[in-house]
Amino acid sequence: MAEILIKNVAKKFETYQALSDINLTISDREFMVLLGASGCGKTTLLRIIAGLETATSGEVWIGGKRIDHLPPKDRGIAMVFQNYAVFPHMTVFENIGFGLRMQKQPEAVVQERVKRTASLMHIEQLLGRYSGELSGGQRQRVAVARALAMEPDVILMDEPLSNLDALLRLEMRAELKGVLAESETTAIYVTHDQVEAMSLADRISVMNRGEIVQAATPMEVYRNPAAEFVAGFIGNPPMNFVVADRAENHQWRVAGEHYSGPKSDEDQIHFAIRPEDVVIAETGLDARVRLVEPLGAHLHVTCDVGGRMFRAVLDSGLEVKAGDHLKLQPQLDRIRWFDKNTTKALEV
């Protein structure tokens, strides 16, 4: 059992608050992705869990044991670094077996586990090579194999795919998911790539300015973002926001149309809808088309709705051109509402 508990963790660098009051529970064998833009504190949080950074305050527990005072080697973790960190003076075999030899495992165990993890990562034929003789993708495989060979309770990955080219990244992504599911390890994976996060994660923690804005399953994060930041960060193109003015009986007026929304005391709130959740109809949001991008499968249409930029993903069979006036009808159960001041989601 390797449940991870992060309690009130905060980190301050000199005057800069990198993390403030982080609370997170990651269950055993869960694949948790920390997602956020650079500088949001996701790597700092990972390094605190690894023991490469000390938290200014707070506690970290792994498998029911408080570990934030222990050195990295005693935490039951293994880590995969962004730039691979494959030891250049050792062969692939020695790299993968390094951790096991440090643990003074019998040579038979080292041999067996190195060979097993190497074949898992499809690098058996490279065991005698040095890191200088490997490609970036192969180095990444060595780094993952080296972490897996430790059979850790928790595997920590810091943007492991970001240095690979696009095609290789897709391939490794699919492979990582399979390998980690099989290894039954708890995994924490840091990335700024929302597609990577959506495709890999059991749960995503979206981070912004040193705080976790939302921690939920990928579909929940996508469908029901807890705040405008999440709605705008996830999805490509991101969610659209339109100002909604109060009408009577929880009705809100949005770009010339009325929709029933939350019971809020505010005079103005934000109406939000995903670009793919609108269709052209007789009635709907008043939209003036500014730009049309035909992408084959879909038509990306950038419009002006209620004085704001609004993007719609429409059927590519439609005849739409810049300057057209459209009525865009949102799918009613996909409409979300956000408080204009706190930017938090509002319950209907």
Partner 1 sequence: MSTSLSNTSTVRAGRWVYGASVALLCAWVLVPIYLLLVNTLSSPAAVSGFPKSFVPEFDTASLEFFAGFSGMVSALINSIYVAAITMVLSIVIGAPAGYALSRFDFKGKELFRLLILLTRAFPLPLLALPLTVMFIQVGLDDTIFGLALVHTTLAIPFAVLITFSLFSGIPVELEEASWTLGCTRLTGFRYVVLPLILPGITASAIFAFVISWNEVFAAAVLTIENRTLTAFLLQNLDTSPLHLKFAGGFILVVPALVFIFAVRKYLFAMWGIANR
Q: How far apart are CA 190 and CA 204, in angstroms?
A: 10
Helix 107-120, helix 136-149: angle, nearest 10: 140
Please, which residue, 61 or 87, has the CB nearer to partner 1?
Answer: 87
| Burial track 222-257 (b if 16+ CB lie within 10 A, e otherwise) | beebbbbbbbbbbbebbbbbbbbeeeeeeebebbeb
DSSP symbols for 238-264: --EEEEEEE-STTEEEETTEEEE----
Residue 82 or 302: the one with the smaller Cβ distance to partner 1 is 82
Name the residue nearer to partner 1 (CB basis): 65 or 340: 65
Q: Which is nearer to partner 1, 71 or 307 (CB)?
A: 71
Residue 56's nearest CA partner among 24, 25, 4, 15 is 15
**Chain Cα centroid distance, residue 323:** 37
State which H helix or E strand residue 329 sits in.
strand 325-330
Asked if 87 is part of the footprint of partner 1 (rule: CB under 8 A), the reply reads yes
Give me the least distance between CB of 52 and partner 1, in Å please: 5
- The reply to whether 79 sits near partner 1 by the rule CB under 8 A is yes
- Select 77 or 226, whichever has its Cβ closest to partner 1: 77
Question: Applying CB under 8 A, does 54 fall inside the site for partner 1?
Answer: no
Are 143 and 86 a contacting pair, CB within 8 Å?
Answer: yes
User: In the set 146, 192, 270, 274, which binds partner 1 (CB under 8 A)?
Assistant: 146
Q: Give the interface segment with partner 1, choosing from 20-28, 47-55, 185-193, 241-249 (CB under 8 A).
A: 47-55
Q: How many residues bind partner 1 (CB under 8 A)?
A: 23
> Could you say whether residue 130 binds partner 1 (CB under 8 A)?
no
What angle do helix axes 92-102 and 136-149 make, rounded to 10 degrees? Answer: 20
Rounded Cα gap, residues 132 and 113, in angstroms: 23
| Binding of residue 99 to partner 1 (CB under 8 A) | yes
| DSSP letters spanning 289-301 | EEEEEE-SSEEEE
Nearer to partner 1, 51 or 238 (CB): 51
Is 306 among the residues that bind partner 1 (CB under 8 A)?
A: no
Residue of 39, 56, 81, 177 interacting with partner 1 (CB under 8 A)? 81
- The correct pick among 1, 102, 109, 174 for binding partner 1 (CB under 8 A) is 102
Residue 334's nearest CA partner among 247, 248, 240 is: 240
CB of 19 to partner 1, least distance (A): 19
Q: Pick the piece of the chain touching partner 1 (CB under 8 A) from 17-25, 79-87, 191-199, 305-313.
A: 79-87
Does 132 bind partner 1 (CB under 8 A)? Our answer is no
Which lies closer to partner 1 via its Cβ, residue 46 or residue 328? 46
Position among 66, 69, 73, 250 found at the interface with partner 1 (CB under 8 A): 73
Binders of partner 1 among residues 156 to 175 (CB under 8 A) are 156
Residue 70 contacts partner 1 per CB under 8 A = no
Structure tokens at 247: 């009408």
**Segment interacting with partner 1, rule: CB under 8 A, options 80-88, 191-199, 205-213, 312-320:** 80-88
Task: Specify the pairing of strand 298-305 against strand 308-315.
Answer: antiparallel
Q: Binding to partner 1 (CB under 8 A): which residues in 205-244?
A: none
Task: Measure the CA angle with vertex 76, ends 193 and 181; round to 5°.
Answer: 50
| Interface stretch with partner 1, choices 1-9, 85-93, 166-174, 296-304 (CB under 8 A) | 85-93
Separation CA 109–CA 305 (nearest Å): 65
Which residues are at the interface with partner 1 (CB under 8 A)?
50-52, 71-73, 77-79, 81-83, 85, 87-89, 98-99, 102-103, 146, 150, 156
